[in-house]
Structure 1
């Protein structure tokens, strides 16, 4: 299957014309990552996204209380799109848990494809809002877990030393 054929099947690219998809596909690259390599690191300011073609990767959110697995992604999943679309730092780390092959799309290519196209921008904005809400929920759960574990630790210390 070609890069263009893969992209046109994905929700993120709904509304793109065949010419837009082809232009984007011509500017994309196939990347390979061995198991254990990071495709994306939380906090980085990279400007590309990946569409997984094969393999699986773990999405991990790092919080003060420790790391938390958010998801395991595989064929057809997209990672890194929030940073490309918003210019913000990476919100999670994505690490290959088996060899991964992925389409890499950089920000300039994506920007050229959507520039000045309000319907595409609206569609993409709704997807980004959904992803951000999911991440906010994960952050909130991680903060709650940290607060709960701190409280129970304090209770244990109080019992032990009272």
Structure 2
């Protein structure tokens, strides 16, 4: 584990969602405040707005990749292509470890939006057992991608 992955897990345990927990540990690297990153990533938790689509840990990681490599106002198409390539690498590595990037799949097919689904998730402590690990893995993969590549 890295310092950032531990910090992200602590952020998650303190009540922030998976996306917030991942993106916020990269705030300093991009000259952003932790609070700005927490706000930005807020709607992406629980598979984007609790829709259980793309895992929030993955979306937080993708935002970090975009901040470093994405196409900005004065960027070029090559920047966008590079960010896509690195994002695909992140997704592939996350899938290799976890079989999916879909929040619902990662929570064993349970629906967080139904009382029954949430009760089962809580009974099995899946947020702690599963999501805690996904947050840490997303950070580790992102750290490797950010450190191996230059813009």
TM-score w.r.t. length of structure 2: 0.31
Would you tell me which structure has more helix in proportion to its own residues? 2
Which structure's CA Rg is the greater one?
1
Would you tell me which structure has more strand in proportion to its own residues? 1
